[in-house]
Structure 1
């Protein structure tokens, strides 16, 4: 909260000698408004204690108050000490500069998308079928409509093509932020050879003993500290990484357009023509180095 409000560790004697007026905000029904329910008591008594409400209105907060709230949350976000130490060691092991690529093409991800893919290896097709259960791919016109809406994850090969269209050199150091079971990785490594992963940088014992959430936390830490960040999806982790990078002033963040890729390929574009069109789709975001709009509180009133 530094820069927004003055925080003290001890109360002044003239205040500490008084009993604060208690305002209980936790038992209110519906949306709670601090302006209506707390501010009058604060102005009257000068010294109050409150039980915070989890559900509250924020639409009438002034911008500096919204900024204080969201920036305080991001400043407070930390990994555990042991995990941050491990993440820092992992970061040190990656050659610099490097790009962190969040690539989502695991069997469960593809199965959940209900998208149909052609040209995948038999092993990938089998893994997808096993993960589908009752979520079968769309068929007929629905397949085309679903893909044109940008609902289908980019394959590693498609991702490599987009990166090439953005003139990202094949010699770029890339940290692969991805879950276990990533399929068709050869489609990326055939073009980009300097690929680094958790499994290649950590000891076998460390990697095999890690829970999935721990691995995701490592990917998050590496991604918010990378020289640039590119995501093929726009999930919760990507939103968190983008916001934290913006908060830290690291704006080289880009989300690849699945919809743009689908629209261009549906028109029959291939080769150099497709790459030129992909550059135009991503040009503005790539040049700005942001890749997504963020709340004003990340850009205004920053102390």
Structure 2
């Protein structure tokens, strides 16, 4: 069935009905002296009214929307409680500083894995691993053999000098091995630690080899450090992620140009990480109605992940594990109260299906922009051939947006969600895909008011408000609770972090804080209270 061009635009039934009535009245006038035609004409009018009442299924009617995006039960552009929280990642007095822990004969080499944001998690955890092992970290090597085939190195993406200097009190970082140590690279074998490796795991698996060989390289380094660490190590993660890792001046400058151009178009804007690229759809195992062509194309792509099993697309969608279509994202935003006039920045690579896939979203939000539409080909040329640099530009715009919308729980979505929490709980919308699926399936059988009410109901707890996620829930990069503190209220003393006052003792073999007996007792009391 062909979709209507303007979703939610209702046919003018009154005009059509009146036209039918006029037609029957003309017949009546021509036969005004006969009773039967009068009855016939009257019956015809009633029949026409009934036909027009039932020939069009119920559709979603758009309610009048306000100037800044629409009627809504919440402020669209800020979190209600954001002013009550702030990022806090400074080390406490118990943290072992570099000058007390440095070892000059241990060098840790790291080879990251995946796309830009997956590699970012590896870089963050590499610093913490180096701290645990009491080793000097050599600037991590980026993955140049992944699906994206980006040949960029660390210093072409990140500000390497800032990275080294910003962390100088925590970990010694160098750009390359000293000349006297280069010979150790001959015959050097990479090792791979298990995923979610704990500090004791590093001390048992890596430290003995590091002491013996003095140089160790860890390969495919993504999510190779435990999610749950003690507070001081989590705060170190935050210092790396939110302060030390920043893009090169060239990337930052271009990213700020994009942000400024969005700001010239509107006071507020929404950024959407669409994540509707072929690789994402193939990985998800979902089906979007493209017939045999879609099944073949995405099926071939899916086979490159050898560990993935055959998926049931219907079950995957019912469980909320399918990325929403661009149209569904648009309907969710309209249901939340973002109006047609809102400017929308779409962060995305190659969208599967191209412009035809984006058309329904553009119909709902005509002010749709991408980095390609905001810049000239000449301006974008230094970045266009490198997927990581293009992803970095999208990251900057999404980070600076007034409202950020994710469409999957991938690396970029998680890192940005955590960063926006740390930077003041900026509005971050995560689609509750499992619940939304039900109303998208049934949307033609409800009014717009019913639809939008259900959207707002199902999105409660998915809008980036403080305390939406419990401490320790999800990936730490998404939910950095150890690094978020609550401001004091009137007549209340501020305790930045109760854990900071715990008495820690440090291992002699590595920088692994071990709570004293009294500290453990205190921890059990805190856990019991929670």
Shared fold per TM-score greater than 0.5: yes
Structure-2 residue corresponding to 1:223: 398
Task: Say whether residues 1:200 and 2:367 are aligned partners.
Answer: no
Structure-1 residue corresponding to 2:349: 179
CA 1:162–1:2: 2 relative to 1, 3 Å: closer
* 3-state SS, counterpart of residue 364 of structure 2: coil
CA 1:154–1:289: 2 relative to 1, 3 Å: farther
Task: Say whether residues 1:168 and 2:168 are aligned partners.
Answer: no
* 3-state SS, counterpart of residue 339 of structure 2: coil
Residue by residue over 1:86-142, the C-alpha shift from the partner in whole angstroms, topping out at 9 and shown as x without a partner, is: 111121111331111111222332233222223x5x8xx846643431649978xx3
Partners of 2:226 and 2:376 in 1: CA distance? 48
Structure-2 residue corresponding to 1:46: none
* 3-state SS, counterpart of residue 133 of structure 1: helix
Residue by residue over 1:191-236, the C-alpha shift from the partner in whole angstroms, topping out at 9 and shown as x without a partner, is: 1111111101121134355211111111111111111111111110
Residue by residue over 1:231-267, the C-alpha shift from the partner in whole angstroms, topping out at 9 and shown as x without a partner, is: 1111100011111111211421111122112234456
Structure-2 residue corresponding to 1:71: 238
Q: Which has the larger radius of gyration?
A: 2
Partners of 2:390 and 2:468 in 1: CA distance? 25
The answer to whether the 8 A contact 1:253-1:289 is kept is no
Partners of 1:69 and 1:80 in 2: CA distance? 22
Task: Say whether residues 1:276 and 2:447 are aligned partners.
Answer: no
The answer to whether the 8 A contact 2:234-2:483 is kept is yes
Structure 2 residue runs without a partner (length 5+):
1-88, 107-132, 136-192, 205-214, 219-223, 304-308, 471-478, 486-495, 498-530
Structure-2 residue corresponding to 1:113: 284
Partners of 1:93 and 1:254 in 2: CA distance? 23
CA 1:22–1:176: 2 relative to 1, 3 Å: closer
CA 1:33–1:282: 2 relative to 1, 3 Å: same
Structure 1 residue runs without a partner (length 5+):
38-50
Question: 66-75 vs 247-256, which deviates more?
Answer: 66-75
Residue by residue over 1:32-67, the C-alpha shift from the partner in whole angstroms, topping out at 9 and shown as x without a partner, is: 459x99xxxxxxxxxxxxx99988789673x3x144
Partners of 1:232 and 1:58 in 2: CA distance? 23
Partners of 2:300 and 2:103 in 1: CA distance? 57
CA 1:21–1:186: 2 relative to 1, 3 Å: closer
Q: TM-score, normalised by structure 1?
A: 0.73
Partners of 2:254 and 2:425 in 1: CA distance? 22
* 3-state SS, counterpart of residue 190 of structure 1: helix
CA 1:189–1:238: 2 relative to 1, 3 Å: same
Partners of 2:226 and 2:278 in 1: CA distance? 40
* 3-state SS, counterpart of residue 234 of structure 1: coil
Partners of 2:288 and 2:371 in 1: CA distance? 27
The answer to whether the 8 A contact 1:247-1:298 is kept is yes
The answer to whether the 8 A contact 2:273-2:406 is kept is yes
Structure-2 residue corresponding to 1:42: none
What RMSD in Å do the two structures reach over aligned CA positions?
Answer: 4.1
Structure-1 residue corresponding to 2:269: 98
CA 1:88–1:149: 2 relative to 1, 3 Å: same
Structure-1 residue corresponding to 2:362: 189
Partners of 1:58 and 1:151 in 2: CA distance? 22
**1:1-303 pair list within 5 angstroms:** 4=92, 25=133, 31-33=198-200, 61=230, 63=231, 65-74=232-241, 75-95=243-263, 96-118=267-289, 126=293, 129-133=296-300, 135=302, 142-183=312-353, 184-207=357-380, 210=384, 211-265=386-440, 270-272=446-448, 273-286=450-463, 288=465, 294-300=479-485, 301=496
Partners of 1:250 and 1:222 in 2: CA distance? 16
Partners of 2:229 and 2:371 in 1: CA distance? 44
CA 1:60–1:23: 2 relative to 1, 3 Å: farther
